[in-house]
Amino acid sequence: MKPPHPLPDTAPDHVFDTPTRPEQALHYRWNADPNPLHLDPRVAAKAGFDRPILHGLCSFGCAAHALLAVLCDYDADRFGAMDGRFTAVVYPGETLRTEIWRDGSFRTRVLERDKIAIGNGLFRQRETA
């Protein structure tokens, strides 16, 4: 296992908030993940969650959108790669705040519960000619 990327000890240079919708997990099941953990309250409760959780793909996509907006000015040609660690679940309907540093470090926080959902993130821009 590779070591986690250390985040800077300073406040982030940018923040980007992304609200999720209460029914968002229902849409994400079309990405070939029909796991009932994302849809069925009984299955989620058996797994120890208050309610169905959002797909990691969705949470990661929200972070990617924030990085694309802030560090690439929505120029997809500049988007290289991103890496991070899932550290907490996200429930549909919660707001994700991606905190971004100029060096490409990032983390994504669930505002309603003040939990880090994606930690130790690192974004690298693609070299363009």
Tell me which residues are annotated as active site: 33, 38
Rounded distance, CA 104 to CA 120, Å? 11
From start to end of the chain, where are the E strands?
Answer: 14-19, 79-86, 95-100, 105-110, 115-125
- Categorise residue 47: left if φ over 0, alpha if ψ from -120 to 50, beta otherwise: alpha
The structure tokens 């996200």 sit at 90
* Helix H or strand E segment including 4: none
Sheet holding 79-86, edge to edge: 14-19, 95-100, 105-110, 115-125, 79-86
